[in-house]
């Protein structure tokens, strides 16, 4: 694989130049088999068909693309509606200081030591700096992903929003409308396989509870939105949710001089045990997908039951401010505008705020995804394939897509929509079927090879007759008798 020279935007760092040269040699030595193999296709109108279109240009989309490129699937494109190197949350709405995952994680590197974050970091800052680093600053992770994209030559089209996929039986591919977010112009690209790499909310959307959604829009914000924290100086804020993002946004508001911040959550006490740390071992990360459905359900249901907690440093960041207040067993059961403020009702009383920040996470619902607007009704969900044991019902988990072994969607009714298996859901929605995959850095080491194999398997099996014809015609003689 050819690696382009370093970006001319910044002067080259000697250590980084040496690392890129070492990586180039790694890829050359490991490049077997070398020849291209995926058979080109065109539509009836003569338009070239992409072998793979990856929707989402963050860590999942980039690493999936490189995995396929290593397998000689090079007729692919990554699209993202954000600016160059601003895909994902790291330099936009992520308001923590560091990644939650341990610094020694691997996965995006595809088992290439010279491609891992530690090598990139040490090439610029040295081994001593790595030793003293506790966790990875989120901005550095974003910079690493930008270097990853440039160094590996991954084709990314930014500021392009994918619309509703449509299956064309005549052309045997999807028609994908791509809107230029600056101009509004739409181009339709044909693609054989689709990888959805749209992150945490990629199988639904960020949640705004109905009790809040009816308020005037200027009175509340969701944690993934742009928030003018400076305008909240001296104000009284209500925050909903007990997860990391709720605490992060509360902390940023406090750091900008908010007068009071009150954080509300449903549980009796905050979770203090992180089940995601338990799950970081080979057995779970690699083989959750191999469990029977009943076991998949009990493991993930238990993880959800244990809850997601704010990391210790995130918790301490907010608690350092005396004007920060926690309210346990206090879900919001009502909210109304009163003289330009919001009056929130909980089982424990009423509170009045200048603004609300919603950090209650995401909701899983494929019908909310614009890419699947024409297809969601035929996609198999867990509720179509599995009945939970008594006492373990979970509405959101039952709405998760029921995926095949390579992250491919399944059809709800056999034979009605077989083309759905050509869409691969590498989002947080894969959790129940396949464990930590899309949107989870800690799961990439094992999920990326599974995803890559799922796509290449289809590309080969789909064209097996053509490959057999090529075998029958093969006549390259190695010697003359």
Q: Mean pLDDT per 10-residue run, the chain (481 residues)?
A: 45 87 97 95 97 97 98 98 92 92 93 97 96 95 97 98 98 98 97 97 95 97 96 98 95 98 96 92 96 98 91 93 98 97 97 97 96 98 98 97 98 97 97 92 96 98 98 94 85
pLDDT of residue 10: 52
DSSP for 66-117 reads HHHHHTT--SEEEE-SS-TT--SSTTTT--SSB-SS-TT--STTTT-GGGSH
Tokens standing for residue 247: 């605490």
Question: 260: closest CA among 331, 159, 353?
Answer: 353
Phi/psi of residue 294, nearest 5 degrees: -60, -35
Q: How many residues in total does the chain contain?
A: 481
pLDDT of residue 55: 98
DSSP state of 327: E
pLDDT of residue 250: 97
How large is the C-alpha radius of gyration of the chain? Answer: 24
Q: How far apart are CA 465 and CA 459, in angstroms?
A: 12
Tokens standing for residue 376: 């969601």
Question: 357: closest CA among 198, 202, 206?
Answer: 206
Q: Strands, DSSP E only, in 199-320?
A: 204-206, 220-222, 236-240, 260-264
What residues contact residue 337 under an 8 Å CB cut-off, 6+ apart? 215, 216, 219, 343
Q: Read off the pTM.
A: 0.95
What residues contact residue 133 under an 8 Å CB cut-off, 6+ apart? 103, 121
pLDDT of residue 11: 58
pLDDT of residue 309: 85
The dihedral sign for the CA sequence 364, 365, 370, 371: positive
In the chain the domains, ranked by start, together with CATH numbers, are 14-197+440-466 (3.50.50.60), 208-272+309-360 (3.50.50.60)
Helical H segments across 368-417, by residue range:
382-385, 395-398
Furthest-apart CA pair in the chain: how many Å?
96
pLDDT of residue 13: 85
pLDDT of residue 438: 79
Q: How far apart are CA 64 and CA 452, in angstroms?
A: 7
């Amino acid at each position: 694989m050819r690696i382009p020279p370093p970006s001319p935007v910044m002067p080259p760092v000697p250590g980084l130049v040496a690392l890129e040269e070492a990586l180039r040699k790694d890829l050359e030595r490991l490049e077997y088999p070398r020849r291209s193999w995926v058979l080109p296709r065109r539509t009836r109108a003569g338009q070239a068909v992409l072998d793979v279109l990856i929707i989402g240009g963050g860590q999942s989309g980039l690493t999936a693309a490189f995995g396929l490129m290593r397998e000689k699937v090079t007729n692919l494109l990554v699209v993202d509606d954000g600016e160059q190197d601003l895909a994902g949350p790291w330099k936009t709405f992520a308001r923590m200081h560091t990644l939650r995952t341990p610094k020694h994680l691997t996965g995006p590197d595809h088992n290439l030591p010279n491609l891992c974050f530690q090598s990139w970091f040490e090439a610029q800052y040295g081994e001593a700096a790595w030793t003293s680093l506790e966790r990875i600053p989120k901005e550095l992770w974003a910079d690493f992903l930008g270097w990853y994209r440039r160094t590996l030559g991954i084709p990314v089209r930014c500021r392009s929003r994918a619309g509703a996929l449509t299956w064309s039986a005549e052309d045997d591919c999807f028609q994908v409308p791509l809107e230029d977010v600056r101009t509004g112009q739409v181009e339709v690209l044909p693609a054989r396989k689709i990888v959805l790499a749209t992150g945490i909310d990629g199988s639904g959307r960020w949640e705004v509870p109905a009790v809040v959604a009816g308020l005037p829009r200027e009175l509340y914000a969701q944690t993934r939105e742009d928030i003018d924290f400076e305008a909240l100086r001296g104000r009284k804020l209500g925050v909903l949710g007990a997860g990391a993002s709720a605490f992060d946004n509360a902390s940023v508001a406090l750091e900008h001089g908010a007068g009071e911040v009150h954080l509300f959550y449903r549980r009796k006490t905050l979770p203090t045990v992180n089940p995601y740390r338990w799950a970081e071992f080979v057995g779970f990360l690699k083989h959750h997908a191999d469990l029977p459905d009943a076991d998949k359900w009990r493991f993930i249901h238990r993880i959800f039951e244990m809850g997601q907690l704010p990391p210790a440093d995130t918790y301490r960041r907010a608690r350092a401010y005396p004007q920060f207040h926690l309210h346990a067993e206090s879900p919001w059961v009502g909210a109304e505008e009163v003289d330009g403020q919001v009056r929130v009702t909980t089982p424990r009383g009423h509170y009045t705020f200048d603004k609300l920040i919603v950090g209650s996470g995401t909701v899983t619902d494929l019908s909310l995804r614009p890419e699947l607007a024409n297809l969601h009704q035929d996609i198999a969900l867990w509720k179509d394939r599995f009945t939970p044991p008594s006492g373990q019902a979970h509405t959101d988990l039952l709405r998760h897509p029921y995926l095949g072994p390579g992250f491919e969607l399944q059809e709800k009714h056999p034979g009605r929509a077989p083309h759905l298996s050509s869409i691969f859901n590498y989002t947080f929605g894969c959790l129940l079927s396949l464990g930590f995959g899309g949107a989870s850095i800690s799961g990439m080491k094992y999920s990326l090879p599974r995803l890559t194999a799922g796509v290449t398997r289809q590309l080969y099996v789909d064209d097996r007759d053509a490959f057999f014809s090529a075998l029958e015609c093969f006549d390259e003689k190695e010697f003359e008798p």
